[in-house]
Amino acid sequence: MDRSTTAYARLILLGALAPVVWGSTYVVTTELLPPDRPMTASLLRALPAGLLLLALTRQLPPAAWWGRLVVLALLNFGAFFPLLFLGAYRLPGGLAAVVGSAQPLVAAALVFALFRQRTPAPRLLWSLAAVAGVAVAVFTGPFTLDALGLTAAFAGTVIMAAGVVLTRRWELPEGLSGLAATGWQLTLGGLMIAPLVPLLDTGPFVLTPQAVAGYAWLALPGGAISYAAWFHAGRRVPATSLTLLMPLIPVTAALLGWVVLGETLTGLQAAGFGLALVASVAGQLRR
């Protein structure tokens, strides 16, 4: 294995850290956080993590780059988080997972529409296999469609894919590190979410020790660390390769539900998640 292949594999592993950590969100939310506070969870996931990274880096972006930072913060956090939770609350979890796992196909369509860049056919086929694997694993019974929830889930998938594409396209300006750029995005995104808290959250805000631990997990591993790794990889690998790691989220969530919550996992579900995992890995192979 040559040095370039080794370096690429390390970037993919670094990028995979994020969806694996994000896969724990379901267990953390259901077991530790107060119910009916999705925007509070989004705010406390983004803003403290962003402020921490800004305190560590102490870097200001150049004036010409503020517009790009605002766009990226809106795509990756300010718009994506509310749409994610709206879809999750109004759709069966399985359907939301399938829509999210289609992100590499959306990214492929965006890079072609915006930049006329074609995605290799094998990666598209593995992306379809990943969606099929997640669908087989999560569709275990009848469900009802909610138009608003489905629209929110699909819009969130498109918006996050656009954030990945533009992260890859826009190189960092001189003097602004990746950690600082991540910190500014998290901070600006958190400020965008803040006005939505009193509008959309309905449950009481109770800070128990369990809730503090849950919010800390979302902010540090789930926010600062995972997004720093995600954006670092996203600036160096193709958007379709990075987004093909998204099926790791439902795979991780299912494994944690089985191990931590004692949820059952049938043979068909295990086969579906296995297919999604194989597709996520095989889709990273380069010619």
What is the pLDDT, as a whole number, of residue 93? 60
Average pLDDT over residues 34-47: 90
Contact call for residues 127 and 239 (beta carbons, < 8 A): no
Q: What is the mean pLDDT of residues 262-280?
A: 87
Give the whole-number percent of the chain exceeding pLDDT 70: 95
**What residue ranges do the domains of the chain occupy?**
3-282
How far, in Å, CA of 256 to CA of 262, rounded?
A: 9
The predicted pLDDT at position 94 comes to 64
Question: What is the predicted pLDDT for the residue at 119?
Answer: 92
Q: Please report the pLDDT score of residue 90 as a whole number.
A: 72
Q: Is the model's pLDDT at 35 over the cut of 90?
A: no
Tens digit of each residue's pLDDT (9 = 90 or more) over 110-132: 999 999 999 999 999 999 999 99
Alpha-carbon gap, residue 270 to 278, rounded angstroms: 12
Burial 92-127 (b: 16+ CB within 10 A, else e): bebbbbbbbbbbbbbbbebbeeeeeeebbeebbebb
Tell me: pLDDT of 1 over 70.
Answer: no
pLDDT number for residue 92: 64
Q: What is the pLDDT of residues 41-78, one digit of tens each?
A: 899 999 999 999 999 999 999 999 999 999 999 999 99
This prediction has a pTM of 0.91
3-state SS assignment for residue 180: helix
pLDDT band at 181 (very low <50, low <70, confident <90, very high): very high
